[in-house]
Structure 1
Amino acid sequence: MKSSTEPLSPTRVKLTIEVPFDEFQPSLDQAYKTIGSQVTVPGFRKGKVPAAVVDQRVGRNIVLDEAINSVLPQWYSQAVQEQEIQPLSQPEIDLTKFSDGEPIEITAELDVRPEIVLPDVSAITVEVADAEIADADVDEQIEALRERFATFTEVQRGAQEGDSLTIDLTATDKDGQAIEGAEAQGMPYTVGQGEVLDGLDEAVTGLEAGATVSFATQLVGGELKGKDVDVTVTVTDVKERHLPEVDEEFVQTASEFDTVEELRTDVLDRVTRGKRMEQANEARDLVLEEIIGQVEVPLPESLVAEELGSRREQVTQQLAFAGTSMEAYLEDEGQTAEEFEADLERRVRESITAQFVLDQVVASGDFGIDDAELSQHIMRRAQQSGQDPNAYIQHLMEHNHVPEMMSEVMRGKALASLVESATVKDASGNELELSRLRADGTVATDEELAAEAESRAKAAVEAAEQSADAPHQ
């Protein structure tokens, strides 16, 4: 078998496969066995029917078709590997020459990943925000910790800001008809949140347990979103919140530390590491954005159309889950349907371009992946989706999404390598060495970097020795 390719466009090729008939003969023999085991001929046992008799009973053309259909996928896969093609679509296969006893020719047209000329990444400079850490950042984290250990006391007075209430809600339209789904019983609510309904804070402030009040507002979701409604709210209890004092007793209860100073030092360290990770994420986005803006990447329109359809479906499902319509969403966003489509297509094209760029970097680089890295990535994806990790992993295995997860890890490594090649500065002009940044936000020392390089070199030598010692077949 031999194969060749002919470019039809920057993203589409014609693959030609030529096979001598004698190479096809084993597949033809197997087809005779398969069909022979399915027909019943007096005087012959199942599976022992001679080829000539099979030809008489079902016709040689049927056998030829059976043989070619069974072997075509194998020939196609082999030719794709030989030509180092990266398919992006299912092939359109045409059996151009297929006569009994003659050489066979097959052509296949398919979309392929385009070749990209990457810019000089070392010439790219991006600026990220300063990793400014203020006392207020530490105070905010400690305040959140205090709120976790808050206690509540039921009080016989009017509700005040910060109080925790239990309320019942019902809503009616302007005709006094109850609105289905716009009611709640025993709902916890903190005065001052202002997150449920406009006007609710004002309505409940000053109410004691057992009091009822009505007020006019607009619903924030559902079919009546944005419509005027009347809401009746009943306060069933009022509880005053008590935050613990930040002292050694609180610190020892709420953390593994003994003193307030130790707790503040730890919080400062965690906030600092978080700010570094924010800088790194911003740098990755900016560097990739710069690269995308400097390259011309032809995209297969079939791939763009498929991704557009998938994104539209996701948006539709999310809006349905939120109880709103596309029309209401566009109104909130201040967009027309045409502007939404244009924005969606732009983001799809940028996403596909970014994927192509990173995949090319992966293909031309030397990026490895171990089980620990893959496991960590899958766990992060499970957390982001809000799913149980075990259920998420089972879903991946059942639907063969593990290779997709591996590709995501490799693209992440490719992007990290691009960022390390670029120049990244903060707003104050300081150049950041992101190659030293670890996944937890810590910064590696020279000694740690040297130890890691030595470990990688040792692992490479061991892998080479194992490969040399492995039996060759």
Structure 2
Amino acid sequence: MKATKEIKSPTQVLVRVEIPAERVSQKIEELFRRASREIELPGFRRGRVPRAVLEARFGKDFLNEDAQTELIEEYLPQALQQLQLRPVSPPQTKPGEFDPQKDFAFEAEVEVLPEVTVRNYTDIEIEDVPMEPVQDSDVDAVVERLRLEHATLVPKAGERSSIVEAGDIVEVKISGEDQIREWQASPGELTGRLIGHRVGETVVLKTDDGQQLRVRIEGVKILEKPDGEELAKTLGHEDIMALRAKIRQELEESRARRRERTLKLKILDTIVAQTPIELPPRFIENLVAQELERWQQQGMPEPAAEDVKRLREAIEQRVRRELVLEAIKRREGLALSDADFEKLLAEEAQKREMKPIKFRALLEREGQLQSFRSDAEDERVLQFLYKNAKIHPKEQ
């Protein structure tokens, strides 16, 4: 096999492949043997139909198209490997003239990611993004969420213990079922129609699609939330003030990380904007199509043209970011060594209270090992850019 390439553009490569006549003839012979096994003709046993009979019946060239297809499928991957090309979309092939006794040549238009050169990526100047201060109301919201998470279901007591009120947990039995279900009575929803009814009553609920559910109210419960002091001790803190202080600290750390992440992407986008990058069009269209298909599988409504446009722009920006990060990583030697990667796996496994070998096996099983490494390397590049940037206070 002879393979050559012609660079048409930063993202388009024309590959030419020539297969020797001997291999072409062998492929034709293989196909005739296969056809002889699969085709039944009167007077011949399966697998015993002579080639001459097949040619007389179907024509000498009836397997030529199959031969071209299989030769291309066999030799194109070899050519791409030999030429060190990594297509990002299915190559578009164009076969040449075919003669079973001659060399067979074909061409393939191959889309590749461009080689990006990033010149200026240190001392990038950007405006700071102030961190939003943590308010008492933010801490209150977390405390309330924690109280709800640690709430327990208890039978409703008091004069109205048998009456369903908004927010109550109602034990119901659907007609024809033995199972008791627990529904929260929520105004504006189907379960909200239970509000005002009593234990022992049967209520007919009409669903949006016109079906009727006959349900009997078996009991009423409420969520009993712990008070602040009880919650604090449950979570291992001395008192509610200590818990609130811990929550405030975690919120501040979270917002600091979010601010830093925003600044890193702002620096990266500044570099992307000043770096000329030509994107492979079919590759981008394939990514857009995949995302639209995912939306459809999730039952989302068909997007408007403006939504598709925004999606395409977001995907293009994501690809540009990845190309710039990869270029800087290579230039600065920021790729993880195998030893560094093993150390990172061990650290992450410790955080998850897992053994490193089990954590690696988990990533491999889920097909996430390489992406975990790539994400870590991207973060190294972003940290490098962040340390070497000039961040100015936001003008008042």
TM range (shorter): 0.5 to 0.7
Q: 2:227: which partner in 1? A: 244
1:382-397 correspondence runs (5 A): none
Segments of structure 1 that go 5 or more residues without pairing to the other structure are 158-162, 168-185, 191-195, 198-207, 211-221, 223-236, 327-336, 381-392, 430-473
Percent pairwise identity: 20
Report the counterpart of residue 409 of structure 1 in structure 2: 372
Q: Which residue of 1 aligns with 2:313?
A: 346
The separation in 2 between residues aligned to 1:32 and 1:61, in whole angstroms, is 11
1:16 deviation in Å?
0.6
- AA matched with 2:16: T
The Cα offsets for residues 165-212 of structure 1, whole Å up to 9 and x where unpaired, read as: 459xxxxxxxxxxxxxxxxxx76459xxxxx79xxxxxxxxxx968xx
Residues 118, 328 of structure 2: 8 Å contact kept: no
Give the Cα separation in 2 of the matches to 1:290 and 1:238: 56
Question: Quick check: 1:3–1:18 contact (8 Å CA) kept in 2?
Answer: yes
Distance 1:29 1:131 in 2: 74
Q: TM-score, normalised by structure 1?
A: 0.54
Q: CA shift at 1:300, angstroms?
A: 3.1
Structure-2 change in CA distance of 1:347 and 1:43 (3 Å): closer
1:46-57 matches, within 5 Å, as 47=47, 51=51, 54-56=54-56
Asked if the contact 1:114/1:298 (under 8 Å) is kept, the reply is yes
| Equivalence for 2:269 | 289
CA distance in 1, matches of 2:20, 2:285: 39
Tell me how far apart the structure 2 counterparts of residues 107 and 274 of structure 1 sit (CA, whole Å): 54
CA contact (8 A) 1:93 1:109 kept: yes
Q: What amino acid is aligned across from residue 14 of structure 1 in structure 2?
A: L
Checking the alignment, whether the CA contact within 8 Å between 1:156 and 1:209 is kept in structure 2 is no
**Alpha-carbon offset, residue 18 of structure 1:** 1.1
Q: Which residue of 2 aligns with 1:90?
A: 90
Equivalent residues in 2 for 1:115-264 (5 A)? 115-126=115-126, 127-130=128-131, 138=139, 140-149=141-150, 165=167, 188=185, 244-246=227-229, 249-252=230-233, 254-258=234-238, 263-264=243-244
Shift of 1:412: 1.9
Does structure 1 conserve the Cα–Cα contact (< 8 Å) formed by 2:16 and 2:106? yes
Pair 1:278–1:128, CA change in 2 (3 A):
same
For the aligned residue pairs, the C-alpha RMSD in angstroms reads 5.0
* Other-structure match for 1:74: 74
The aligned amino acid for 1:8 is: K
CA drift of 1:73 comes to 0.7
| Deviations 1:202-253, CA, capped at 9 Å, x for gaps | xxxxxx968xxxxxxxxxxx9xxxxxxxxxxxxxx9989876142xx5433x
* Distance in 2 of aligned mates of 1:298 and 1:69: 31
Quick one: structure 1 residues 305 and 43, their matched pair in 2 at CA, closer, same or farther if it must change by over 3 Å?
Answer: closer
Displacement of 1:348 after TM fit? 3.5
SS at match of 2:118: coil
Is contact 2:90-2:110 (8 Å) kept? yes
Deviation at 1:94, TM superposition (A): 1.5
**RCO higher in structure (CA 8 A, sep ≥6):** 2
Q: Quote the offset at 1:71 in angstroms.
A: 2.5
Q: Deviations over 1:135-159 (max 9, x none)?
A: 76555533433344568876779xx
CA distance in structure 1 between the aligned counterparts of 2:66 and 2:247, rounded to whole angstroms: 70
Distance 1:35 1:338 in 2: 49
Distance apart, 1:340 and its partner CA: 5.0
Q: Aligned in 2, Cα 1:242/1:255: closer, same or farther, shift over 3 Å?
A: closer
Q: Which residue of 2 aligns with 1:24?
A: 24
**Which shows bigger deviation, 27-36 or 257-266?**
257-266
On the 8 A contact 2:125/2:390 being kept in 1, the answer is: no
Deviation string, structure 1 residues 341-390 (Cα, Å, up to 9, x no partner): 654443233233334445666788745677x96xx99xx9xxxxxxxxxx
Contact kept? 1:91, 1:109, Cα under 8 Å: yes
CA distance in 2, matches of 1:419, 1:339: 31
Residue identity matched to 2:380:
S
For residues 39 and 309 of structure 2, the distance between their equivalents in structure 1, rounded to whole angstroms, comes to: 59
Aligned counterpart, 2:180: none
Question: Structure 2: how far apart are the matches of 1:244 and 1:302?
Answer: 59
1:214 is matched with none
The match for 1:111 is 111
Given that residues 228 and 240 in structure 2 are in contact (C-alpha distance below 8 angstroms), is that contact kept between their aligned partners in structure 1?
no
Q: 1:361 to 1:104 in 2, by over 3 A?
A: farther
CA contact (8 A) 1:92 1:109 kept: yes
Matching residue within 255, 263, 272 for 1:275: 255
2:28/2:100 contact within 8 Å kept: no
